[in-house]
Homo-oligomer: A and B are copies of this chain.
Amino acid sequence: MNSRRDFLQKLGISAIALHLAPLSGWADSKNNQEDAYDGPVLRVAIMGLGSYGTRVAEAMRSCKKAKLVGVISGTPSKIKDWQSKYGIPEKNCYNYENFDNIKSNPDIDAVYVITPNGLHHDEVIRVAKAGKHVICEKPMALNAKQGQEMIDACKAANVKLLVGYRMHFEPKTLEVIRMRKAGDFGKIKFFQGLCGFTIGDPTQWRLNKQLAGGGSLMDIGIYAINGSRYMTGENPVWVTAQETKTDHEKFKEGVDETIEFQFGFPSGATASCLSTYAMNNLDRFFLNGDKGFAEMQPSTGYGPIMGRTNQGELTQPITVHQTVQMEEMSDIIFKGKQPVVPVDGYEALKDLKIIDAIYLAVKTGKKVDLSL
């Protein structure tokens, strides 16, 4: 519905104008057999030039359907650096004061918001108001209330809101989902997601309550939350959770070090998950059905995903997640492609409702009922 065509039509530009490259962003490499792609190219500005922004930018070098064309940053030296590295013209560079002006820039289709969690809400709404599609890193916001407001703003502005769920495009993950849907594991009984790492620099924004909105749960626990849903194919109806904190200096009030949480699903399946900033390289998924299982380790890391099922090793190709994500998001935005697992605001809102429930369960010590 909110395809780029719709958006341009709304602006009074005929769909036929899309065929004019490079203004329209269409690839002009039709004659290169290997690179043959003659569809629209998603022209992206990245907001927030930190380490993950850099990772996305590097991954986009290999994209055919998406291209890094602009930046938004509060640090002029970073902008200069990115301009030279990625050939970004001056006119596509913005800071946090003036990026609303992106509205009048016809060479940018979408903004990828890769800033601290606590800033997403306001930034995404400003991007939407500037009439650009938004890709937002996860967690989409600090809580469900913010998330709903962001969805509403994007709807009102008739722009797409996508969230950086890179695993939704990862081949081994998709194979496990395919097998689960095909009944290869039988009735699903249990999911386990163990996600964590030992966080370093205590001054980073991820350990700042205001910017991060919490601790490990917001950053790494969300992989287990989201994974429990795409692996089982269900949404939890209840949540319980327990927090453990050993380092009160590093993990201040409201910043969780370790949270265990459990879900119950409508089918009776359950999930048991761990989110932590205090264990090394914990990255394990386990899905158990009455006829089979899948285990993935690493399950969500940036590097190669590895796994096996009751049928043997998973042999699907290793990909650069962010490259595939941006290629697919281009198709979602321009061609209305439906991904196997959604990556839109509603998908993210479900995770935010679960995050709210987990923090509530930690606070009250009680089981929290959910309806997603």
A276 is an interface residue with CB less than 8 A from chain B: yes
Pick from B194, B242, B267: contact of A262, CB below 8 A: B242
* Bound CA–CA A276/B187 (angstroms): 15
Residues of B within 8 A of A244 (CB): 264, 268, 270
Q: Which residue of B lies closest to A258 (CB)?
A: B270
* Bound CA–CA A264/B252 (angstroms): 20
Q: Mark A188-200, 1 if CB is under 8 A from B, else 0.
A: 0110101000100
- Return 26 A-B CB contacts under 8 Å, by A number: A189-B258, A189-B276, A189-B278, A190-B194, A190-B274, A190-B279, A190-B282, A192-B274, A194-B286, A198-B290, A240-B240, A242-B262, A242-B264, A242-B270, A244-B264, A244-B268, A245-B268, A246-B267, A246-B268, A260-B262, A260-B272, A262-B262, A272-B272, A279-B288, A280-B291, A365-B367
A30 is an interface residue with CB less than 8 A from chain B: no
Determine whether the beta carbon of B290 is less than 8 Å from that of A279.
Answer: yes
Residues of B within 8 A of A278 (CB): 189, 290
**Shortest distance between the CB of A199 and any CB in chain B (Å):** 12
A80 is an interface residue with CB less than 8 A from chain B: no
A366 is an interface residue with CB less than 8 A from chain B: yes
Residues of B within 8 A of A279 (CB): 189-190, 288, 290
**Would you call the interface of chain A mostly helix, strand, loop, or mixed?**
strand
**Shortest distance between the CB of A286 and any CB in chain B (Å):** 8
Q: Which of A124-140 contact B (CB under 8 A)?
A: none
* Bound CA–CA A262/B262 (angstroms): 10
Q: Which of A347-372 contact B (CB under 8 A)?
A: 365-367
Q: Mark A273-287, 1 if CB is under 8 A from B, else 0.
A: 010101110101010
Determine whether the beta carbon of B290 is less than 8 Å from that of A280.
Answer: yes
* Bound CA–CA A274/B367 (angstroms): 17
Given contacts A280-B288, A284-B286, 13 further A-B contacts (CB under 8 A): A189-B279, A190-B194, A190-B274, A194-B286, A240-B242, A240-B365, A242-B270, A260-B262, A270-B274, A278-B290, A280-B290, A365-B367, A366-B366
**Shortest distance between the CB of A329 and any CB in chain B (Å):** 34
Residues of B within 8 A of A242 (CB): 240, 262, 264, 270, 367
Residues of B within 8 A of A189 (CB): 258, 276, 278-279
**Shortest distance between the CB of A104 and any CB in chain B (Å):** 52
